[in-house]
Amino acid sequence: MVRQFEGDHHAEGLRFAIVASRFNDEIVAGLLAGATNCLLQHGASDDSLEIFRVPGAFEVPGMAAKLIRLNRYDAVVAIGALIRGDTPHFDHIASQVTMEISRVSVDSGVPVAFGVITCNTVDQARARSGPASGNKGWEAALAAIEMANLHKVIG
């Protein structure tokens, strides 16, 4: 029989850092609320969560890497909102942030869940950050819980 491994969604006993950008704060506030609510509803305690605010999405990967080096967290949740404008700036930042968050996670061996949304319009961003189903902050936090637990299962 093939053995299968997966993490569960129980956050008790796990420590999380959330790195959230301040740019597009109306949107990020919804993502941050979603992530925090998810972690708490799945058993994380208030004192097992720490939130770090950075200027923009570009700064998220660097802060995630710094926090991981402290060896205090089982997972990091990266939160931000990039909304397309009239210049190619969006494409460069979105690509770089995505690649760097992935690199930080792979290089460190610590799960970094991707909750940075990339949208064409403010309406799309609001739909992905609101309190209704589909909040990408909630989804990133749930992925962080599952991956932290899977890391514990495999050692």
Query: Does the active-site annotation cover 92?
Result: no
* % helix, strand, coil for the chain, step of 5: 50, 20, 30
| Secondary structure letter of residue 48 according to DSSP | G
Continuous segment of H or E residues that includes residue 34: helix 25-41
Among the listed residues 6, 122, 5, 106, the one whose alpha carbon sits nearest the alpha carbon of residue 61:
106
Q: What angle do CA 107, 14, 66 make, to 5 degrees?
A: 35
Among the listed residues 42, 1, 58, 30, the one whose alpha carbon sits nearest the alpha carbon of residue 126:
30
Given 9, 10, 42, 89, the catalytic residue: 89
* Cα(144)–Cα(75) distance, integer angstroms: 6
Q: Which residues are catalytic?
A: 89
